[in-house]
Amino acid sequence: MSKNVCMFVWNNFTNDARVLRECTALSEEGYKVDLICIHDPNDEEMKYVEKRNENFNIYRVRRYPVLFSIIQTSYRYCLDYKIAGGISFIIWLFLAYYFPVVILPLTIMGLLILKTKAKTVFVRGSIITRMIIKGRKKKYDLYHSNDLNTLPQGYICSKWRLKRKPLIYDSHEVQTSRTGYDSPIYGKMERFFIKRIDSMIVENHTRAKYNEDLYGFYPNVVHNYPFLESVISNEKVNLHEMLHLPTDEKILLYQGGIQAGRGLEQLIHAVPKFKEGTLVLIGDGRIKPDLVKMVKEMDFQEKVRFIPKVPLSELPRYTRNAYLGFQVLNNTNFNHYSASSNKLFEYMMAEVPVVACDFPEIKRVVEGENTGICIDSHDPKAIADAVNRLLEDRKLRNQLSDNSLKASVIFNWEREKEMFMNVYTKSILSDLETIEPTMSN
């Protein structure tokens, strides 16, 4: 008999490789998976409901409540069109005069929400509420929360009921030490919920040990490895033609989020020291405008190019153009220090050697399999020295590329998904009244 799974993730589910792999694995094994995520009102093509395969459905909840959207649209309209704003103000005065008990409180509430930090709390709270409502509409056998920001939803849906259901907490990041999670409330929140889950998954053993020191148990480890099938095809996007580069120009590639702490400022500062090649950054993120400005001020527009993020299914076709790839996280928090991010293995699948930070999990793979060069990612000169070494020593570069192809047979989802499915097997079979957080082998 198939089992129904409700999974939560706090994004639009357009480029979440890990969640895609997990949902696909479950659906292929006969689980009926409903993924609840968030709709992007700025993307007109994004659907509220998608069916990926017979067993895998995606449901996106509204980001903003209907009333909030109306208030926000009206407010912007009044600012943009003064005549319409004047007419709207007259109508508001009329309504406020005859219905003050209703209109005035609504106006004050609307302005507070629009113009203060209450907006963030209100929007997030409404998203959480809609996720919970959606998660309670069907009879599910198991709930799965990706990261701390969906753990309350999973807890309420799985435990606030007569017959409680198993809850898996899949922590993609170190929630108590990551960018944007500096408040101690996140640590207290995780500590509260982690006593009430049935199983936990983390990305690697460094993070599992950290969790053991913090909470007293060693969670399951499911590494962030990509699908092996991406290495089968040699199909490429013609990136040289797209960027108007000479066919023999060496592409030095960074792919991933353009976010703080990724070492991208240091990477750009290293560009003048590169003996050849063009730095290409594929992705979007909060600091991208700042980096574009930096490149312009340094007059490096010809040596640094930006490409918007591309769909996950298309990304390998871009990656294969690279002479080398970068994974140069900065040690701004334990989350970065302990990372073994997806892009490291995406480069590997595309046979692209890496210039990488010397953090434990990344160094273990890169130096252990001899697929690249580890450096001090905070030092632009160290980055440039490694790049120039690979530019000058083509034989070394090709050897690292060959090693990457060999390593891809080890570091792939087809092997790792067995560990993931074991977590589900244990959770389904365990007695909910006596279950303890399951341990990895």
Q: Residues 351-370: what's their mean pLDDT?
A: 96
Determine the pLDDT at residue 437: 47
Range in 33-37, 47-51, 67-71, 294-298 the model is least confident about: 67-71
Q: Is the pLDDT of residue 18 over 80?
A: yes
* Residue whose token pair is 């599910």: 140
Percent of the chain with pLDDT strictly greater than 70? 84
Q: Residues 230-246: what's their mean pLDDT?
A: 82
Q: Residues 257-278: what's their mean pLDDT?
A: 95
Determine the pLDDT at residue 233: 61
Q: What average pLDDT is seen over the chain?
A: 88
For 26-54, the pLDDT digits (tens) are 999 999 999 999 999 888 899 999 999 99
Alpha-carbon distance of 339 to 224, in angstroms, equals: 10
Q: Is the pLDDT of residue 10 over 90?
A: yes
Range in 162-166, 332-336, 432-436 the model is least confident about: 432-436
Determine the pLDDT at residue 351: 94
Q: Residues 406-427: what's their mean pLDDT?
A: 92
Q: Which residues pair with 8 in a beta bridge?
A: 36, 145
Q: Is the pLDDT of residue 403 over 60?
A: yes
Q: Residues 263-286: what's their mean pLDDT?
A: 96
Q: pLDDT-based confidence at 431, cuts 50/70/90?
A: very low
Dihedrals φ, ψ of 427, to 5°?
-70, -40
Contact predicate 49/42, CB 8 Å: no
For 211-228, the pLDDT digits (tens) are 999 999 999 999 999 888
Alpha-carbon distance of 136 to 139, in angstroms, equals: 7
Alpha-carbon distance of 64 to 129, in angstroms, equals: 11
275, two tokens: 């003996």
Alpha-carbon distance of 392 to 152, in angstroms, equals: 53
Structural domains present in the chain: 4-61+141-225+416-429 (3.40.50.2000), 228-411 (3.40.50.2000)
For 156-198, the pLDDT digits (tens) are 999 999 899 999 999 998 988 887 777 888 889 999 999 999 9
Q: Is the pLDDT of residue 435 over 50?
A: no
Residue from 368, 366, 286 nearest 327 by CA: 366
Determine the pLDDT at residue 179: 73
Determine the pLDDT at residue 96: 64
Contact predicate 135/143, CB 8 Å: yes
Q: pLDDT-based confidence at 77, cuts 50/70/90?
A: low
3-state SS, one letter per residue, for 163-219? CCCCEEEECCCCCCCCCCCCCHHHHHHHHHHHCCCCEEEECCHHHHHHHHHHHCCCC
